[in-house]
Structure 1
Amino acid sequence: MGRLDWCDAFVHLRGRSIDFSGRPYLPSIYASSARRIVLRCSRQVEKTTFLCNVVLHTVTTMPGVRVIVVFPRQDQAGVFAKSRLMPMITESPVISKVLLGPQGRRPQVMHMQFRNGSEVYIRAAFHSADAVRGIDGDFLLIDEFQDIAGGDLPVLEETLSHSAHRRVCLTGTPKSVDNHLEDVFRRSTANEWRVPCACGHQVFLDEKVLGPEGPMCPECRQTIDPATGLWVPRNPQSAWGAGFTLNHLATPWLNYPELLERHDSYNPALFRNECLGLPTFLGDHIVTREEVEACCGSRPMARCLDDVPVDGQRSLIAGIDWGGGAVSRTVLVIGFIRDDRFIVVHMVRFPAVEDPNEILRQVRQCCQRFRVVAVAADGGGNGNVYNNLLLHELPSIAGLYAMLYSAAGQQPTQRAGRLWNWTIGRSPSLGMVFTRIKKHRVEFPRLEDSRSFLDEIWCEVAEYDDHQRTIRYTHPETQPDDTLHATNYAATLARHMFNAAMRFDG
């Protein structure tokens, strides 16, 4: 029996059997077998009920198991233990008999020890993870994860280090994209509840669907029914775990006029967080996710030269944003110019933990497989070493351009042989990428192949630099933008070489 069916059969809530009707989004969440699960939700979508059900199912069906439930504040932990979890135990006859015995003897609420040997520890960890040190657990559940001290998840997960189960469940309501809840959600499968429209559009439930009478398709303005939605993963190959995002618009108890009233009365950030379960941003977005995704064509990601359109096979340029350390990853983007449009044919990223020599080998093999004619690569930091090594291993390319950002751009200067230095204006060159995206002068492979890479482009925001008195582009600390820079390098060099060829032909 699956967890959802088990809860339907045995859990009682507020004096009667729990009711899951009208919630087509729940089966996939309850059925997930991923070692890590993250729920990024708006308020009032029953995420705390989900945590209670996970606890009840686990401690009842797995005698001797230890579950640790963590909240940011002590009052939240107390309310969960006394007003949510304990009443569900005592009101559910079968569960109460298994856990409390015939006498129904209640355990200590912050450390529940049950008749079948299972235990539940309920703790608060706002400033640090010290409250859970020394506890050995099998399951770790964290509510309001966005308010837990940043960087504490690895410490909290250490409580599971001796367990054969080592299951983690995180729930929370997003704040800004620069938050650890958004970080883990981005690393997960990041399932979105998308509603099919008769026009063929798969509608994501955000501000754009708010019609005067009910949710509607932002493309054709037809009414849509959120109950017909399906989970669509943004990152289906994730090794981190399963992620789900859910908000008021998908729930069966939605009072749409009240939601519109909140939309009109709440500030935009609060409405986006609390009602839509979506993060807000540090500054103004340069391009939206929809604008970037609209640049995707119908062709799949090329895997070899034969997959590349014939008119681009002899003019492919590679852009590389070298990684370094334990966080930054290397991203490689390959494309060519066609009719003043930069056509991306291949994108690949290499994990930060990879051996540098292995990354260099894979980058070389990829460039050789596509027979790139030139490379534009990050010239700062590790790039100074990587670029010389890569140039030596690619004798057939016309040149390698070490790209350096500055406030103002310059023309490329030949450093030695096929190695060039090129200082480009950071804001002007990135601004050109964004402008070309808005004008559909960049084309990416089909959306299902490109989606996770595109997240590293639309995340960029604009901030005013008081020192330089200029607008600069930045990104949340938890959201990399490596693909943006690799694309910028490749597109800049491709346009340069295309224009040079046109002048030569003229």
Structure 2
Amino acid sequence: EYQDVAAGFLPVLKETLAHSMRPVTILTGTPKEVTNHLEDAFALSTARVWMARCEACGTEVLPDERSIGPDFYCCSGCQQPIDWRRGQWVATNPQSTWGDGFWLPQIIAPWVTPRRFHEKASEYDKDQLLNEVFGLSTTQGTLAITRAELEACCSARPMAASSTDLPADARRAILLGIDWGSGLAGQAAVVVASQCFRTNRLKVWHWGLLSTNDRPIIDEVVALCGRFGVRRVFADARGGGAHQNRALWSRLGSEHGVTIMGIEYAASDGLVKQDGTLRLWGIDKTKWIGGLCTRIREKLIEFPASEECQSGFGHVGSEQAVFDEELRTSTFRATDGRPDDLLHPLVYVVAGNTLTALPDQAE
């Protein structure tokens, strides 16, 4: 039951295999919430799912509750009978070298009948049915992270104004996350951070909303990069963000050697690819917001003093984890009417920090 093991204990547990001639680690359990570390492990794996082709309509069908007829298994599209025994494992993350992962819903067990599923449906509420029977992580409409969990990550230090407020070892690898939002209108959300390798914490030194009325917002971002000696930028590449990123590279990348990577949310992590003068990376939104929540719960992110973070905490704490009926998975959405601008550059920094080395920017 890996989901119930304290997060971060896996490396310690694997030490029991340190002298084994055939070390094998098998993680099993029920994912529960989308932010659970079993879900994180599955996302890192090959993430294999069982799929069967419907002979009637040709659809590749996943084994979920939409595939249970009154007394037979059926295609979730055309509702014609389907035989799970004719299915096969399909890797949804085939490039993974982390290890093999398998989603094992009870529906593919040949000894479990549709009638038994109807009995289970009457015994469980929807969350329990999806979680315990179908092996799907789900958290219905609850805040992904609480204010108390965010407050627990605060330090006593004030918000930094420039690199002179940072310890010497933190100045060597400053990261900047940017959510341009409607950047052309004069506002951008920014997070300045660096990784502390001694404690494995990502330290946020400065974060907030930059705004200007009398000059382009990119001027404010360039000035911020200069004050902190930023070396790597991970910035929203959606919409006008692509234009802003190219403009930023023309100001910083070509002359000052700053690496700029555009970030786009996607259904799954993609490969870093060339996008003209920039790099572009599509990241799994659910995975990385969930990963951010996990890091906050494990206190692997350190914020400035609480009184200087209240606005930012309002943004980060606005996300709800909800089950998406169409995508068949838990996703994150902003609570109606609450801003979440500062959440995204924080996600970009957390994701970008995993890229230990980036190739030189294209000329």
Cα deviation code 1:196-244 (max 9, x no counterpart): xxxxxxxxxxxxxxxxxxxxxxxxxxxxxxxxxxxxxxxxxxxxxxxxx
1:403 aligned partner, one-letter code: I
Q: 2:352 aligns with which of 493, 499, 504?
A: 493
Please give the alpha-carbon distance, in whole angstroms, between the structure 1 residues aligned to 2:276 and 2:184: 32
Q: 1:458 aligns with which of 317, 325, 335?
A: 317
Cα deviation code 1:45-75 (max 9, x no counterpart): xxxxxxxxxxxxxxxxxxxxxxxxxxxxxxx
Please give the alpha-carbon distance, in whole angstroms, between the structure 2 residues aligned to 1:459 and 1:328: 23
Q: In the alignment, does 2:277 pair up with 1:425?
A: no
Please give the alpha-carbon distance, in whole angstroms, between the structure 2 residues aligned to 1:362 and 1:293: 29
Would the aligned equivalents of 1:412 and 1:420 in 2 still touch at CA under 8 Å? yes
Please give the alpha-carbon distance, in whole angstroms, between the structure 2 residues aligned to 1:371 and 1:316: 7
Specify the alignment match of 1:416 in structure 2.
276
Q: What secondary structure does 1:333 align onto? A: strand
Query: TM-score with structure 2 length normalisation?
Result: 0.56
Would the aligned equivalents of 1:293 and 1:451 in 2 still touch at CA under 8 Å? no
Specify the alignment match of 1:377 in structure 2.
235
1:415 aligned partner, one-letter code: D
Deviation at 1:325, TM superposition (A): 7.9
Specify the alignment match of 1:337 in structure 2.
195
Deviation at 1:358, TM superposition (A): 2.3
1:440 aligned partner, one-letter code: K
Specify the alignment match of 2:298 in structure 1.
439
Specify the alignment match of 1:406 in structure 2.
266
Q: What secondary structure does 2:309 align onto? A: helix
Aligned length: 216
Specify the alignment match of 1:387 in structure 2.
245
Please give the alpha-carbon distance, in whole angstroms, between the structure 2 residues aligned to 1:325 and 1:379: 11
Deviation at 1:348, TM superposition (A): 2.4
Specify the alignment match of 2:147 in structure 1.
289
1:451 aligned partner, one-letter code: Q
1:404 aligned partner, one-letter code: E
Which structure 2 segments of 5+ residues have no match? 1-139, 359-363
Please give the alpha-carbon distance, in whole angstroms, between the structure 2 residues aligned to 1:431 and 1:380: 21
Please give the alpha-carbon distance, in whole angstroms, between the structure 2 residues aligned to 1:293 and 1:369: 27
2:295 aligned partner, one-letter code: R
Which structure 1 segments of 5+ residues have no match? 1-281, 502-506
Deviation at 1:327, TM superposition (A): 9.4
Q: In the alignment, does 2:176 pair up with 1:313?
A: no
Please give the alpha-carbon distance, in whole angstroms, between the structure 2 residues aligned to 1:403 and 1:357: 25
Q: In the alignment, does 2:342 pair up with 1:483?
A: yes
Superposed structure 1 runs of 4+ greater than 3 Å apart: 325-329, 354-357
Would the aligned equivalents of 1:301 and 1:446 in 2 still touch at CA under 8 Å? yes
Q: In the alignment, does 2:338 pair up with 1:468?
A: no
1:290 aligned partner, one-letter code: A
Would the aligned equivalents of 1:462 and 1:473 in 2 still touch at CA under 8 Å? yes
Alignment of 1:78-93 (within 5 A): none
Deviation at 1:324, TM superposition (A): 1.1
Higher RCO, Cα 8 Å, sep 6+: 2
Deviation at 1:496, TM superposition (A): 1.4
Deviation at 1:391, TM superposition (A): 0.8
Please give the alpha-carbon distance, in whole angstroms, between the structure 2 residues aligned to 1:374 and 1:325: 19
Q: In the alignment, does 2:232 pair up with 1:349?
A: no
Q: What secondary structure does 2:172 align onto? A: coil
Alignment of 1:118-129 (within 5 A): none
Alignment of 1:141-156 (within 5 A): none
Alignment RMSD: 2.3
Q: Cα distance 1:325–1:306, how it changes in 2: closer, same or farther (>3 A)?
A: closer
Please give the alpha-carbon distance, in whole angstroms, between the structure 2 residues aligned to 1:406 and 1:358: 29
- Sequence identity, in percent? 31
Q: What secondary structure does 1:496 align onto? A: coil
Please give the alpha-carbon distance, in whole angstroms, between the structure 2 residues aligned to 1:469 and 1:356: 46
Would the aligned equivalents of 2:249 and 2:258 in 1 still touch at CA under 8 Å? no
Please give the alpha-carbon distance, in whole angstroms, between the structure 2 residues aligned to 1:359 and 1:326: 7
Specify the alignment match of 1:362 in structure 2.
220
Please give the alpha-carbon distance, in whole angstroms, between the structure 2 residues aligned to 1:491 and 1:462: 19
1:399 aligned partner, one-letter code: T
